[in-house]
Amino acid sequence: MATSSLEEAYKENPLSLQHILPIDFQSIQEVPNSHLWPKINNVLTSHNDKNPNVPIIDLLAPNVVELMGHACKTWGIFQVVNHGVSLELFDEVEYQARRLFALPAEQKVKVVRSTSGATGYGTARITPFFSKFMWHEGFTIMDSPLDHAKKLWPHDYHKFCDVMENYQKKMKVLSFQLCLFILNYLQPSQDQHSINSFEFAGALQLNSYPCCPNPNHALGLAPHTDSLFLTILHQTNNTKGLQILKKDQGWTSISPVSNDALIVNVGDLLHILSNGEFPSVYHRVLVDQTKHRFSLAYFFGPQLDSMISPLVSSKDNDGVVLKYRNVKVKEYLGLKAKHLEKVFSMIRF
Protein backbone atom coordinates (compact mmCIF):
# COMPACT_ATOMS: atom_id res chain seq x y z
CA MET A 1 0.00 0.00 0.00
CA ALA A 2 1.14 3.55 -0.69
CA THR A 3 1.27 4.66 2.91
CA SER A 4 2.68 1.48 4.44
CA SER A 5 6.18 2.62 3.56
CA LEU A 6 5.73 5.79 5.63
CA GLU A 7 4.74 3.63 8.58
CA GLU A 8 7.92 1.58 8.16
CA ALA A 9 10.03 4.67 8.90
CA TYR A 10 8.58 4.85 12.40
CA LYS A 11 8.99 1.14 13.13
CA GLU A 12 12.75 1.59 13.04
CA ASN A 13 12.65 4.55 15.46
CA PRO A 14 10.41 3.46 18.34
CA LEU A 15 9.36 5.81 21.17
CA SER A 16 8.70 4.97 24.81
CA LEU A 17 5.06 4.92 25.94
CA GLN A 18 5.67 7.91 28.26
CA HIS A 19 6.45 9.96 25.13
CA ILE A 20 3.26 8.82 23.39
CA LEU A 21 0.38 8.82 25.88
CA PRO A 22 -1.12 12.29 26.61
CA ILE A 23 -2.25 13.20 30.10
CA ASP A 24 -5.97 13.25 30.83
CA PHE A 25 -6.65 16.92 30.16
CA GLN A 26 -10.26 16.57 31.31
CA SER A 27 -9.22 15.65 34.85
CA ILE A 28 -6.72 18.39 35.72
CA GLN A 29 -7.34 21.92 37.04
CA GLU A 30 -3.84 23.36 36.72
CA VAL A 31 -0.80 22.85 34.53
CA PRO A 32 1.42 20.14 36.07
CA ASN A 33 5.15 20.73 36.30
CA SER A 34 5.71 18.19 33.50
CA HIS A 35 3.91 20.57 31.11
CA LEU A 36 5.08 23.88 32.60
CA TRP A 37 7.38 25.75 30.20
CA PRO A 38 9.31 28.97 30.89
CA LYS A 39 7.16 32.01 30.07
CA ILE A 40 6.10 31.89 26.43
CA ASN A 41 6.61 35.12 24.52
CA ASN A 42 3.24 35.22 22.78
CA VAL A 43 3.16 38.93 21.97
CA LEU A 44 2.01 39.32 18.37
CA THR A 45 4.49 40.92 16.01
CA SER A 46 1.75 42.28 13.77
CA HIS A 47 -1.30 44.33 14.69
CA ASN A 48 -3.00 42.92 11.61
CA ASP A 49 -3.89 39.52 13.07
CA LYS A 50 -5.57 38.34 9.89
CA ASN A 51 -2.72 38.69 7.47
CA PRO A 52 0.76 39.91 8.34
CA ASN A 53 1.60 39.90 4.61
CA VAL A 54 1.39 36.11 4.34
CA PRO A 55 0.65 35.41 0.65
CA ILE A 56 -2.95 34.48 -0.19
CA ILE A 57 -3.15 32.50 -3.43
CA ASP A 58 -6.25 31.96 -5.56
CA LEU A 59 -5.73 28.58 -7.20
CA LEU A 60 -7.76 29.80 -10.20
CA ALA A 61 -5.40 32.74 -10.80
CA PRO A 62 -3.74 32.63 -14.27
CA ASN A 63 -0.30 33.29 -12.74
CA VAL A 64 -0.70 30.75 -9.92
CA VAL A 65 2.69 29.10 -10.61
CA GLU A 66 4.61 32.36 -10.18
CA LEU A 67 2.56 33.36 -7.13
CA MET A 68 3.15 30.03 -5.41
CA GLY A 69 6.83 29.87 -6.26
CA HIS A 70 7.36 33.39 -4.93
CA ALA A 71 5.42 32.54 -1.74
CA CYS A 72 7.51 29.41 -1.17
CA LYS A 73 10.71 31.39 -1.74
CA THR A 74 9.94 34.44 0.41
CA TRP A 75 7.81 32.96 3.20
CA GLY A 76 7.76 29.17 2.98
CA ILE A 77 4.08 29.42 3.88
CA PHE A 78 0.94 30.70 2.17
CA GLN A 79 -2.85 30.45 2.23
CA VAL A 80 -4.92 29.03 -0.60
CA VAL A 81 -8.51 29.83 -1.58
CA ASN A 82 -10.68 28.42 -4.39
CA HIS A 83 -9.15 25.00 -3.71
CA GLY A 84 -12.32 23.02 -4.40
CA VAL A 85 -12.81 21.50 -0.92
CA SER A 86 -16.24 22.30 0.49
CA LEU A 87 -16.97 23.96 3.82
CA GLU A 88 -19.37 21.09 4.51
CA LEU A 89 -16.52 18.57 4.41
CA PHE A 90 -14.42 20.67 6.81
CA ASP A 91 -17.41 20.80 9.17
CA GLU A 92 -17.89 17.03 8.96
CA VAL A 93 -14.24 16.29 9.71
CA GLU A 94 -14.22 18.76 12.60
CA TYR A 95 -17.38 17.20 14.04
CA GLN A 96 -15.82 13.73 13.94
CA ALA A 97 -12.55 15.02 15.43
CA ARG A 98 -14.43 16.65 18.32
CA ARG A 99 -16.36 13.42 18.79
CA LEU A 100 -13.11 11.49 19.11
CA PHE A 101 -11.30 13.84 21.48
CA ALA A 102 -14.40 14.22 23.70
CA LEU A 103 -14.21 10.51 24.58
CA PRO A 104 -13.02 9.62 28.11
CA ALA A 105 -9.29 8.98 28.49
CA GLU A 106 -9.91 5.28 29.18
CA GLN A 107 -11.58 5.01 25.76
CA LYS A 108 -8.90 6.89 23.84
CA VAL A 109 -6.12 4.79 25.39
CA LYS A 110 -7.61 1.76 23.56
CA VAL A 111 -6.26 3.23 20.31
CA VAL A 112 -3.00 4.71 21.59
CA ARG A 113 -0.16 4.62 19.07
CA SER A 114 2.12 1.66 19.58
CA THR A 115 5.74 2.40 20.52
CA SER A 116 6.83 1.64 16.95
CA GLY A 117 3.59 2.68 15.25
CA ALA A 118 2.59 5.63 13.10
CA THR A 119 -1.20 5.73 13.50
CA GLY A 120 -3.59 6.15 16.40
CA TYR A 121 -3.92 8.36 19.47
CA GLY A 122 -0.94 10.08 21.05
CA THR A 123 1.33 13.07 21.52
CA ALA A 124 3.46 14.74 18.84
CA ARG A 125 6.42 12.68 17.61
CA ILE A 126 8.81 15.50 18.54
CA THR A 127 7.99 15.02 22.26
CA PRO A 128 11.24 13.19 23.25
CA PHE A 129 13.39 16.14 22.13
CA PHE A 130 11.99 18.49 24.79
CA SER A 131 12.25 18.47 28.57
CA LYS A 132 8.60 19.54 28.94
CA PHE A 133 5.47 17.95 27.51
CA MET A 134 3.06 19.74 25.17
CA TRP A 135 -0.57 20.74 25.75
CA HIS A 136 -1.76 18.61 22.88
CA GLU A 137 -3.34 15.33 21.89
CA GLY A 138 -3.43 13.96 18.37
CA PHE A 139 -4.82 11.17 16.26
CA THR A 140 -2.95 10.06 13.13
CA ILE A 141 -4.60 8.33 10.16
CA MET A 142 -3.04 6.78 7.07
CA ASP A 143 -5.74 5.63 4.64
CA SER A 144 -8.46 3.81 6.58
CA PRO A 145 -8.92 4.33 10.36
CA LEU A 146 -11.24 1.27 10.46
CA ASP A 147 -9.37 -0.84 13.04
CA HIS A 148 -9.09 2.02 15.51
CA ALA A 149 -12.62 3.32 14.88
CA LYS A 150 -14.11 -0.11 15.63
CA LYS A 151 -12.44 -0.09 19.06
CA LEU A 152 -13.79 3.37 19.85
CA TRP A 153 -17.32 2.91 18.48
CA PRO A 154 -18.00 -0.83 17.99
CA HIS A 155 -21.47 -0.19 16.53
CA ASP A 156 -21.09 3.32 15.15
CA TYR A 157 -17.78 3.63 13.32
CA HIS A 158 -18.85 3.89 9.67
CA LYS A 159 -19.39 7.65 9.52
CA PHE A 160 -16.01 8.44 11.09
CA CYS A 161 -14.24 6.20 8.55
CA ASP A 162 -16.16 7.56 5.56
CA VAL A 163 -15.48 11.19 6.47
CA MET A 164 -11.77 10.67 7.17
CA GLU A 165 -11.19 8.63 4.02
CA ASN A 166 -13.03 11.21 1.90
CA TYR A 167 -11.01 14.07 3.40
CA GLN A 168 -7.72 12.27 2.74
CA LYS A 169 -8.69 11.70 -0.89
CA LYS A 170 -9.47 15.41 -1.35
CA MET A 171 -6.22 16.43 0.37
CA LYS A 172 -4.14 14.05 -1.74
CA VAL A 173 -5.57 15.47 -4.97
CA LEU A 174 -5.00 19.04 -3.75
CA SER A 175 -1.46 18.23 -2.56
CA PHE A 176 -0.58 16.75 -5.93
CA GLN A 177 -1.91 19.86 -7.67
CA LEU A 178 0.15 22.13 -5.41
CA CYS A 179 3.28 20.04 -6.04
CA LEU A 180 2.72 20.34 -9.80
CA PHE A 181 2.62 24.13 -9.54
CA ILE A 182 5.70 24.23 -7.30
CA LEU A 183 7.76 21.88 -9.49
CA ASN A 184 6.71 23.86 -12.54
CA TYR A 185 8.20 26.93 -10.86
CA LEU A 186 11.45 25.14 -10.01
CA GLN A 187 11.85 23.47 -13.41
CA PRO A 188 9.42 25.03 -15.91
CA SER A 189 10.10 22.56 -18.74
CA GLN A 190 10.05 19.38 -16.66
CA ASP A 191 7.23 19.62 -14.13
CA GLN A 192 5.26 16.57 -15.25
CA HIS A 193 8.40 14.45 -15.60
CA SER A 194 9.64 15.48 -12.15
CA ILE A 195 6.42 14.75 -10.31
CA ASN A 196 5.88 11.46 -12.13
CA SER A 197 9.25 10.26 -10.86
CA PHE A 198 7.76 10.10 -7.35
CA GLU A 199 5.12 7.92 -5.75
CA PHE A 200 3.42 9.86 -3.00
CA ALA A 201 2.03 9.08 0.44
CA GLY A 202 0.07 11.12 2.95
CA ALA A 203 -0.97 11.19 6.58
CA LEU A 204 -3.81 13.02 8.30
CA GLN A 205 -3.27 14.34 11.82
CA LEU A 206 -6.25 15.45 13.91
CA ASN A 207 -5.04 17.89 16.59
CA SER A 208 -6.67 18.87 19.87
CA TYR A 209 -5.39 21.74 22.05
CA PRO A 210 -7.59 21.78 25.18
CA CYS A 211 -8.30 24.93 27.18
CA CYS A 212 -5.24 25.63 29.30
CA PRO A 213 -5.33 27.15 32.82
CA ASN A 214 -1.93 28.82 32.28
CA PRO A 215 -1.40 29.46 28.55
CA ASN A 216 1.64 31.71 29.16
CA HIS A 217 3.56 28.70 30.44
CA ALA A 218 2.33 26.00 28.08
CA LEU A 219 2.85 25.12 24.42
CA GLY A 220 0.49 23.29 22.10
CA LEU A 221 3.38 22.27 19.87
CA ALA A 222 7.02 23.14 20.47
CA PRO A 223 9.02 24.80 17.66
CA HIS A 224 9.79 22.43 14.78
CA THR A 225 9.72 21.98 11.02
CA ASP A 226 7.62 19.42 9.14
CA SER A 227 9.48 16.58 7.45
CA LEU A 228 7.75 15.89 4.14
CA PHE A 229 7.15 18.01 1.00
CA LEU A 230 4.28 20.11 2.31
CA THR A 231 1.63 20.34 4.99
CA ILE A 232 -1.95 21.52 4.42
CA LEU A 233 -3.52 22.88 7.60
CA HIS A 234 -7.14 23.67 8.35
CA GLN A 235 -7.63 25.57 11.61
CA THR A 236 -11.20 24.95 12.69
CA ASN A 237 -13.59 27.73 13.74
CA ASN A 238 -11.21 30.30 12.27
CA THR A 239 -9.14 30.16 15.48
CA LYS A 240 -5.52 31.19 15.72
CA GLY A 241 -2.66 29.50 17.48
CA LEU A 242 -0.16 28.75 14.72
CA GLN A 243 2.95 30.94 14.74
CA ILE A 244 5.95 30.92 12.41
CA LEU A 245 9.43 32.25 13.12
CA LYS A 246 9.97 34.93 10.49
CA LYS A 247 13.39 36.42 9.97
CA ASP A 248 13.60 39.94 11.42
CA GLN A 249 10.02 39.67 12.75
CA GLY A 250 10.20 36.99 15.43
CA TRP A 251 7.16 34.83 16.09
CA THR A 252 4.31 35.81 13.77
CA SER A 253 0.72 34.55 14.12
CA ILE A 254 -0.90 33.02 11.06
CA SER A 255 -4.70 33.13 11.05
CA PRO A 256 -6.91 31.82 8.24
CA VAL A 257 -8.29 34.66 6.11
CA SER A 258 -11.63 32.87 5.79
CA ASN A 259 -13.35 29.75 7.13
CA ASP A 260 -12.42 27.74 4.06
CA ALA A 261 -8.87 29.06 3.56
CA LEU A 262 -6.13 26.46 3.90
CA ILE A 263 -2.63 27.17 5.20
CA VAL A 264 0.17 25.44 3.28
CA ASN A 265 3.74 25.28 4.51
CA VAL A 266 6.97 24.01 2.98
CA GLY A 267 8.49 20.93 4.63
CA ASP A 268 12.07 19.69 4.87
CA LEU A 269 12.07 17.49 1.76
CA LEU A 270 10.80 20.35 -0.43
CA HIS A 271 13.49 22.59 1.10
CA ILE A 272 16.09 20.02 0.01
CA LEU A 273 14.50 19.54 -3.42
CA SER A 274 14.62 23.32 -3.98
CA ASN A 275 18.34 23.31 -3.06
CA GLY A 276 17.54 25.48 -0.05
CA GLU A 277 15.63 28.07 -2.10
CA PHE A 278 12.38 27.42 -0.18
CA PRO A 279 12.67 27.70 3.62
CA SER A 280 11.24 24.86 5.72
CA VAL A 281 9.09 26.83 8.13
CA TYR A 282 9.96 26.75 11.82
CA HIS A 283 6.62 26.91 13.62
CA ARG A 284 4.90 26.38 16.94
CA VAL A 285 1.34 26.35 18.34
CA LEU A 286 0.06 28.41 21.26
CA VAL A 287 -2.84 27.42 23.52
CA ASP A 288 -5.76 29.42 24.91
CA GLN A 289 -7.36 29.70 28.33
CA THR A 290 -10.97 29.70 27.15
CA LYS A 291 -10.96 28.13 23.66
CA HIS A 292 -10.46 24.44 22.96
CA ARG A 293 -8.74 24.53 19.58
CA PHE A 294 -8.78 21.86 16.89
CA SER A 295 -6.90 21.62 13.62
CA LEU A 296 -6.50 19.18 10.72
CA ALA A 297 -3.01 18.72 9.27
CA TYR A 298 -2.37 16.71 6.11
CA PHE A 299 1.27 15.77 5.48
CA PHE A 300 2.26 14.91 1.90
CA GLY A 301 5.48 13.66 0.38
CA PRO A 302 7.27 10.94 -1.59
CA GLN A 303 7.38 7.37 -0.40
CA LEU A 304 10.29 5.99 1.61
CA ASP A 305 12.33 4.59 -1.26
CA SER A 306 12.25 7.88 -3.22
CA MET A 307 15.54 9.71 -3.77
CA ILE A 308 15.44 13.47 -3.16
CA SER A 309 17.93 15.27 -5.38
CA PRO A 310 18.21 19.08 -5.27
CA LEU A 311 16.78 20.59 -8.45
CA VAL A 312 18.71 23.31 -10.20
CA SER A 313 16.81 25.24 -12.86
CA SER A 314 18.38 24.98 -16.30
CA LYS A 315 18.53 28.78 -16.48
CA ASP A 316 20.53 28.83 -13.23
CA ASN A 317 22.67 25.80 -13.90
CA ASP A 318 25.93 27.65 -14.40
CA GLY A 319 27.74 28.39 -11.19
CA VAL A 320 25.02 27.13 -8.82
CA VAL A 321 26.43 25.20 -5.89
CA LEU A 322 24.43 22.24 -4.62
CA LYS A 323 23.75 22.73 -0.91
CA TYR A 324 22.56 19.21 -0.10
CA ARG A 325 23.55 15.73 -1.13
CA ASN A 326 21.03 13.29 -2.54
CA VAL A 327 19.11 11.57 0.22
CA LYS A 328 16.47 8.85 0.33
CA VAL A 329 13.28 9.70 2.20
CA LYS A 330 13.77 6.74 4.53
CA GLU A 331 17.30 7.83 5.46
CA TYR A 332 16.18 11.42 6.02
CA LEU A 333 13.26 10.47 8.28
CA GLY A 334 15.55 8.15 10.24
CA LEU A 335 18.12 10.92 10.76
CA LYS A 336 15.45 13.41 11.80
CA ALA A 337 13.92 10.94 14.25
CA LYS A 338 17.28 10.86 16.02
CA HIS A 339 18.55 14.44 15.59
CA LEU A 340 15.52 16.71 14.87
CA GLU A 341 16.65 20.14 13.56
CA LYS A 342 20.34 19.16 13.46
CA VAL A 343 19.49 16.93 10.49
CA PHE A 344 20.19 19.55 7.80
CA SER A 345 23.81 19.90 8.88
CA MET A 346 24.23 16.14 8.40
CA ILE A 347 23.29 16.19 4.71
CA ARG A 348 24.68 19.61 3.78
CA PHE A 349 27.72 19.79 1.51
**Main-chain phi, psi angles of 159, to 5 degrees:** -65, -45
Contact 265, 231 (CB under 8 A): yes
Please give the chain's pLDDT, 349 residues, in tens. Answer: 344 467 788 788 889 999 999 999 999 999 999 999 999 876 554 434 545 579 999 999 999 999 999 999 999 999 999 999 999 999 999 999 999 999 999 999 999 999 999 999 999 999 999 999 999 999 999 999 999 999 999 999 999 999 999 999 999 999 999 999 999 999 876 545 566 778 899 999 999 999 999 999 999 999 999 999 999 999 986 677 999 998 888 999 998 898 899 999 999 999 999 999 999 999 999 999 999 999 999 999 999 999 999 987 544 555 679 999 999 999 999 999 999 989 999 999 9
User: Of these residues, 113, 125, 284, 293, which one is catalytic?
Assistant: 293
Task: Please report the pLDDT score of residue 69 as a whole number.
Answer: 97
- CA distance to 71, 74, 134, per residue, from 53 (Å): 10, 11, 29
Contacts of 263 (CB under 8 A, 6+ apart): 77, 78, 79, 232, 233, 234, 235, 242, 254, 256
Residue 293 bears catalytic tag:
yes
Residue 78 makes CB contacts below 8 A (sequence gap 6+) with: 54, 55, 56, 57, 68, 71, 72, 263, 264
Instruction: With beta carbons less than 8 A apart as the criterion, state whether 198 and 273 touch.
Output: no
- In this structure, is the dihedral angle defined by the CA atoms of residues 132, 343, 276 and 306, taken in order, positive or negative? negative
What pTM value is reported for the model? 0.94
On whether the CB atoms of residues 118 and 6 are closer than 8 A, the answer is: yes
The DSSP line for 196-255 is HT--EEEEEEEEEE---S-GGG--SEEEE---SSEEEEEEGGG---EEEEETTTEEEE--
Q: Write down how long the chain is.
A: 349
- Can you list the alpha helix ranges (DSSP code H) found in 85-157? 87-101, 105-108, 146-152
Residues 168 and 234 sit within 8 Å (Cβ to Cβ): no
Q: How far is Cα 74 from Cα 348, in angstroms, rounded to an integer?
A: 21
The residue type at 148: H
Nearest to 316 by CA among 179, 181, 180, 188: 188
